[in-house]
């Protein structure tokens, strides 16, 4: 085995064992049931926001909510964190969240 190949294998092995590489994907709904202020304090300023749900959730999910809906998108460590909120009398409360690899298409 040439020395360069061996060096590359050692570098890859060390990187793998020391945790280099993308962080693990967050579980679905990690940010659910949190206020908008709490989510912003955890994730910072959103990269974008839009009215409504993200993706194409089924009607049996969307029909559970009667308030105004908005989604904030935060880009962190190779992922896009989509956090959807419902406007309630107490303020904006997260109803669901999902982390997907950056650039994914729903």
Q: Which of 85, 69, 87 is nearest to 34 (CA)?
A: 85
Domain-embedded: residue 73:
yes
Instruction: Give the pTM.
Output: 0.76
Domain-embedded: residue 11:
no
Domain-embedded: residue 38:
yes
Domain that holds residue 42: 24-101
For the segment 2-27, what is each residue's pLDDT rounded down to a tens digit?
Answer: 666 656 555 554 445 455 555 667 78
User: CATH code at 43?
Assistant: 3.30.160
Label the pairing between strands 79-88 and 91-101.
antiparallel
What is the Cβ-side half-sphere exposure of residue 39, based on CA atoms within 13 angstroms?
26
For residue 82, what pLDDT is reported? 95
Domain count along the chain? 1
For the segment 57-76, what is each residue's pLDDT rounded down to a tens digit?
Answer: 999 999 999 999 999 999 98
Question: Mind spelling out the 3-state secondary structure of the chain?
Answer: CCHHHHHHHHHHHHHHHCCCCCCCCCCCCCCCCCEHHHHHHHHCCCCEEEECCCCCCCHHHHCCCCCCEEEEEEEECCEEEEEEEEEECCEEEEEEEEEEECCCCC
Domain-embedded: residue 9:
no
């Amino acid at each position: 085995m040439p020395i360069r190949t061996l060096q590359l294998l050692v570098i890859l092995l060390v990187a793998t064992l020391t945790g280099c590489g993308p962080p693990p994907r967050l579980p679905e709904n990690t940010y659910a049931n949190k206020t908008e202020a709490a989510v912003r304090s955890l994730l910072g300023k959103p990269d974008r926001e839009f009215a409504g749900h993200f993706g194409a959730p089924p009607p049996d999910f969307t029909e559970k909510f009667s308030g105004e809906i908005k989604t904030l998108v935060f880009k962190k460590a190779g992922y896009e964190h989509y956090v959807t909120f419902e406007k309630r009398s107490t303020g904006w409360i997260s109803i669901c969240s999902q982390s997907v690899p950056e650039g994914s298409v729903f």
